[in-house]
Amino acid sequence: MTWMSRVAVFDTETTGIDPREARLVTAFVGIIDEHGEIERGTDWLADPGVEIPEAAAAVHGVTTEMARENGEPAAEVIAKVRASLDWIARNRLPLVIYNAPFDLTLLAAECRRYGIEPPVLGPQVIDPLVIDKAVDRYRKGKRALGDAATVYGVELLDAHDAADDAVAAGRVALAMAAKYPDELGVALEELHAKQVAWADAQAADFEDYMRRQRDPNFTVERGWPVRG
């Protein structure tokens, strides 16, 4: 059985773009089968306890008022998300997260904020962003989830909805595995090691480019799939 037979997916929408400072607003954890069909999934809406900036609300559609009226307390949502990821870790399911360092670093910061132990994931995280940059390195254009979905023939109807984004990322991962079986059709441990190396090389390449073109002191933060 390959990792593609059953895949967990995870995504968040937040109050901002700094994963250590932003607060979780919505989250989705689910499982899809080898055909990309949803087996099960859970959505959460949190009251983050802070104002949701208008710019963030314009992206994901959740205002401060909506979160306060309909959301669960953030600490309760974080505990539930953490429990879901713990279950995925214990059962060694592959876990697809597009741009994993953002969501996992955010979740770790939120766990610490509320005195919750962060989830400990094994070598099971699959990050289509890192993989796409590695297997199709010279493709021109942007690499956001919507762009990858178009390239790999995956429908994404409601971008920046945590559930739709998570499921689309899972389907993109499956499409990548079908297109590049030699590189991706390997054990999770081997794929994890590949992604660690790819992510570090990609950071080094971008750092080198920025130092040559704009700022000789430019640095890129390392760390995949989660940053400290």
Structural domain contains residue 218: no
Number of folded domains that form the chain: 1
List, in sequence order, the alpha helices (H) in the chain. 54-60, 64-70, 74-90, 100-113, 128-135, 145-151, 162-179, 181-184, 188-213
Looking up residue 177, the CATH number of its domain turns out to be: 3.30.420.10
Range of the domain at 62: 3-213
Structural domain contains residue 164: yes
Q: Which two tokens stand for residue 96?
A: 């697809």
Structural domain contains residue 29: yes
Q: How far apart are CA 165 and CA 98, in angstroms?
A: 8
Structural domain contains residue 226: no
Q: What is the mean pLDDT of each run of 10 residues along the chain (228 residues)?
A: 91 97 98 97 97 96 97 98 97 97 98 96 97 96 96 91 97 98 96 98 95 94 92
Structural domain contains residue 34: yes
DSSP state, residue 140: -
Structural domain contains residue 228: no
Q: Buried b vs exposed e over 127-161: b needs ≥16 C-beta within 10 Å? A: bbbbbbbbbeeeeeeebebeebbebbebebeeebb
Look at residue 1 in the predicted model and tell me its pLDDT: 52
For the full predicted model, state whether its pTM sits above 0.85: yes
